[in-house]
Amino acid sequence: MKKLIVILFLLTIAVFSNNEGEKKVENPLLVEWKTPFGTPPFDLVKNEHFMPAFLEGMKKHREEVDAIINNIEEPTFANTIEAFEKTGQILDKVSGVFFHLSGAHTNPEIQKISQELSPLLSKHSDDINLNPKLFERIKILFNKIDKLNLSAEQKTLLDKYYKNFVRSGADLNEADKEKLRKINEELSLNSLKFRENVLKETNAFELIIDKEEDLSGLPPSAIQAALEEAHKRGYENKWVFTLQAPSMRPIMLYSDKRELREKLFKASSLKANNNNEFDNKKIVEQMVLLRLKRANLLGYKTHADFVLERYMAKDPNTVYDFLMKIWEPALKKAKIELEELTAIAKKEGNNEPLAPWDWSYYAEKLKKEKYDLDEEMLRPYFRIENVIDGLFTVVNKLYGFTFTERKDIPTYHPDVRVFEMKEANGDHVGIIYTDYFPRESKRAGAWMDNYRNQSNIAGEYVSPIVFNTGNFTKPTKDKPALITFGEVETMFHEFGHALHGLLSKVTYPSLSGTNVAWDFVELPSQIMEHWVSEPQVLKMFAKHYETGEPMPDELIEKIQKVSKFNQGFATVSYLSASLLDMNYHTVAQEKPISVDDFENELFEKLGLMPEIGVRYRSTFFSHIFAGGYSSGYYSYIWAEVLDTDAFDAFKENGIFDSKTAAAFRNNILSKGGTEEAMTLYKRFRGKEPNVEGLLKRRGLIEE
Each residue's pLDDT tens digit, 13-37: 334 344 444 446 689 999 999 999 9
List alpha helices for 205-257, DSSP H: 220-232, 245-254
Region of residue 37 (left: phi > 0; alpha: psi -120 to 50; beta: else): left
CA–CA distance, 136 with 298 (Å, rounded to integer): 18
pLDDT at 24: 60
CA–CA distance, 56 with 401 (Å, rounded to integer): 38
Asked if 20 is an active-site residue, the reply is no
Contacts of residue 674, defined as CB under 8 A and 6 or more positions apart, other chains included, come to: 152, 153, 156, 506, 511
Which amino acid type is present at position 94?
V
CATH number of this structure's domain 2-171, picked from the four choices 3.30.70.1560, 3.40.50.150, 1.10.1370.40, 3.90.550.10: 1.10.1370.40
CB 573 within 8 A of CB 613: yes
* Domain coordinates in residue numbering, the chain: 2-171, 205-269, 383-541+654-674
CA–CA distance, 5 with 1 (Å, rounded to integer): 6
Q: How many CB atoms lie within 10 A of CB 170?
A: 20
pLDDT at 614: 85
Contacts of residue 321, defined as CB under 8 A and 6 or more positions apart, other chains included, come to: none
Q: How many CB atoms lie within 10 A of CB 515?
A: 20
The DSSP code for 403 is E
CA–CA distance, 605 with 330 (Å, rounded to integer): 16
CATH 1.10.1370.40 applies to domain 383-541+654-674: yes
pLDDT at 8: 40
CA–CA distance, 511 with 154 (Å, rounded to integer): 10
SS3 591: coil
For the stretch 521-579, pLDDT in tens is: 999 999 999 999 999 999 999 999 999 999 999 999 999 999 999 999 999 999 999 99
CA–CA distance, 240 with 263 (Å, rounded to integer): 13
pLDDT at 25: 65
Which amino acid type is present at position 479?
K
Q: Is 269 exposed, middle or buried (0-12, 13-18, 19+ CB in 10 A)?
A: middle
Q: How many CB atoms lie within 10 A of CB 357?
A: 23
Most distant CA pair in the chain: distance in Å? 83
CA–CA distance, 162 with 144 (Å, rounded to integer): 12
CA–CA distance, 142 with 162 (Å, rounded to integer): 7
Residue 331: half-sphere exposure toward Cβ, Cα within 13 Å: 14
Q: Which of 494, 599, 611, 640 is catalytic?
A: 494
SS3 420: strand
* Burial per residue of 289-311, b for 16 or more beta-carbon CB atoms within 10 angstroms, e otherwise: bbbbbbbebbebebbbbbbbeeb
Would you mind telling me the total number of residues written for the chain in this entry? 703
* SS3 per-residue string spanning 116-179: HHHHHHHHHHHHHHCCHHHHHHHHHHHCCHHHCCCCHHHHHHHHHHHHHHHHCCCCCCHHHHHH
Domains 2-171 and 383-541+654-674 fall in the same CATH topology = yes
SS3 418: strand
Please give the torsion angle defined by the CA atoms of residues 139, 144, 150 and 156, in that order, rounded to the nearest 10 degrees.
50
Single pTM value for the model: 0.92
CA–CA distance, 65 with 60 (Å, rounded to integer): 9
**In 454-496, where do the E strands start and end?**
455-457, 460-462, 465-469
Contacts of residue 452, defined as CB under 8 A and 6 or more positions apart, other chains included, come to: 38, 92, 93, 96, 462, 463, 464, 465
CA–CA distance, 399 with 525 (Å, rounded to integer): 15
What averages of pLDDT result for each successive group of 10 residues across the chain (703 residues)?
38 40 74 97 97 98 98 97 97 96 96 95 96 97 97 97 96 97 96 96 96 96 96 96 96 97 97 97 98 98 97 97 97 97 95 95 96 94 98 98 98 98 98 97 94 96 98 94 97 98 98 96 97 97 97 96 95 97 97 95 96 92 95 96 96 97 98 96 95 93 80
Please give the torsion angle defined by the CA atoms of residues 530, 536, 537 and 540, in that order, rounded to the nearest 10 degrees.
170
